[in-house]
Amino acid sequence: MVIDWSDAATGHPFTDLANWLNRVSDPAVRRSMLDVWLACWPDAAPAAELEEAARLALPIGALHQVESYRRISESLEPGPDWGLGRGGPAFARWALAWLDDGLDATVAR
């Protein structure tokens, strides 16, 4: 059995939104996904505050992934990186796109 702990972290649950929402290219679908996610937190805060937390969490979550990929790549022995070397730069582009455009962000794949 192999357990992959590369994405394991203790932190705010909204941090994972960047990794989840960037997989969908249609902003309307992203909005629907986020609405469903936020509906799961009705007692945490008013809806407007949850929306703001999600907006702020997107670039933070992407930067978390940049650091995660950096640490993973740094720990690999020399040889093939199985595409891991592209993960950090891709999430850095997403961090900037989330900052500029929010849920309407797009990044070339």
For residue 97, pLDDT beyond 90: yes
| Structure tokens given for 9 | 């972290």
pTM of the model: 0.83
User: What would the pLDDT profile of 54-68 be if each residue is shown by its tens digit?
Assistant: 999 999 999 999 998
For the segment 64-91, the average pLDDT, to the nearest whole number, is 82
Residues constituting the chain: 109
Residue closest to 99 by CA, chosen among 18, 25, 36, 33:
18
Task: Tell me how many degrees the CA angle 87-26-68 measures, rounded to the nearest 5.
Answer: 20
For residue 53, pLDDT beyond 70: yes
Residue closest to 94 by CA, chosen among 67, 72, 62, 64:
62
* 38 band by pLDDT with thresholds 50, 70 and 90: very high
As a whole number, the mean pLDDT across the chain is 87
| Structure tokens given for 107 | 């990044």
Q: Is 3 helix (H, G, I), strand (E, B) or coil?
A: coil
Alpha-carbon gap, residue 86 to 22, rounded angstroms: 15
